[in-house]
Amino acid sequence: MQWQDEGIIIGVKRHGETSVIAELMTRERGRHLGLVRSGRSRAMQPVLQPGNRVEAVWRARLDEHLGEFRLEPVRLRAAKLMETATAVYGVQAMGALLRLLPERDPHPHLFEALDIILDALDDPADAGELFVRFELAVLNDLGFGLDLSECAATGLRENLVYVSPKTGRAVSREAGAPYADRMLALPSFLSEGAAGAADRENMAAAFRLTAFFLHRHVYEPRGLTENAARDGFVQAALKALSARDPERQAG
């Protein structure tokens, strides 16, 4: 069997003396593993770095086999991803999120989102919002999507400030007021039609929101712990926003 597809490197493991097992997020075939012979060579090591985009040819005798990759570089951006803490942690954290999905399960929109976000991670102040939206997309594909479009109690689309921890649905200020101490905050930039970038307070609330539902629906049922890279990314993104917000206020 053989196929060809675009892929983004999300992980590499040593295999034997000279080879590696590469983990790719492909456009049409989801997260896919394959052996790369001579993957530890000087020629291949710069290619086999997380975040790089490649053209992949996969071959195997049977579909269920590990198979072998032949990889050609398309976009080598790993060096750029080493320049900021948000990028270093972000590429690792998004790889960990993709590993929550079944192997070889197609998610072409997540491939596209990953490709776009990797190009934007060098801007620490904007990286947080993109990452949160990626987490929401992964939750949705796992079957635990949040409904932030209208109030769960009234059906209204205005003044949405809470999210119910039980249902994952938005709640308006008036409807949620009696239960405010039990509600999760809905950051304004996640509401439909919202304009403007998130400030530090809203971003911190967004990270708490996605973390809550990832823990409840994914990590705890599977006996998993949150990937350490996410915490590193969150801290770096919030630090960047803390530095940016006073500058905006001064301007």
Whether residue 168 is predicted with pLDDT greater than 70 in this model: the reply is yes
* Residue 196, in any domain of the structure: yes
- Average pLDDT on 180-194 reads 89
* Residue 180, in any domain of the structure: no
The answer on 125 and 40 residing in a single domain is no
Q: What is the pLDDT of residue 245?
A: 65
User: Is 148 within 8 Å of 171 (Cβ atoms)?
Assistant: no
User: pLDDT tens digits for 86-112?
Assistant: 999 999 999 999 999 999 999 999 999
Whether residue 196 is predicted with pLDDT greater than 90 in this model: the reply is no
The answer on 89 and 136 residing in a single domain is yes
User: Is 96 within 8 Å of 166 (Cβ atoms)?
Assistant: no
User: pLDDT tens digits for 128-149?
Assistant: 999 999 999 999 999 999 999 9
The closest alpha carbon to 137, from 129, 75, 232, belongs to 129
Q: Using pLDDT thresholds of 50, 70 and 90, give the confidence band for residue 124.
A: confident
The answer on 225 and 115 residing in a single domain is yes
Q: Using pLDDT thresholds of 50, 70 and 90, give the confidence band for residue 184.
A: very high
Residue 226 DSSP label? -
The answer on 124 and 204 residing in a single domain is yes
Whether residue 244 is predicted with pLDDT greater than 90 in this model: the reply is no
Range of the domain at 129: 81-148+186-250
User: pLDDT tens digits for 208-233?
Assistant: 999 999 999 999 999 999 999 999 99
Q: What is the pLDDT of residue 197?
A: 74
* Residue 105, in any domain of the structure: yes
Q: What is the pLDDT of residue 198?
A: 85
Percent of the chain with pLDDT over 90: 89
- Average pLDDT on 230-251 reads 80
Q: What is the pLDDT of residue 226?
A: 92
Q: What is the pLDDT of residue 143?
A: 97
Q: What is the token pair recorded at 118? A: 């990797």
Q: Domains in the chain: how many in total?
A: 2
80, 112, 145, 156, 161 from 92: Cα distances, Å: 14, 17, 22, 38, 31
User: Is 22 within 8 Å of 39 (Cβ atoms)?
Assistant: yes
User: Is 122 within 8 Å of 87 (Cβ atoms)?
Assistant: yes
Which of 39, 58, 76 terminates a domain? The answer is 76
Helix, strand or coil, per DSSP, at residue 41: coil
Tell me how far apart the alpha carbons of residues 147 and 134 are, in angstroms, rounded to a whole number: 15
Q: Using pLDDT thresholds of 50, 70 and 90, give the confidence band for residue 246.
A: low
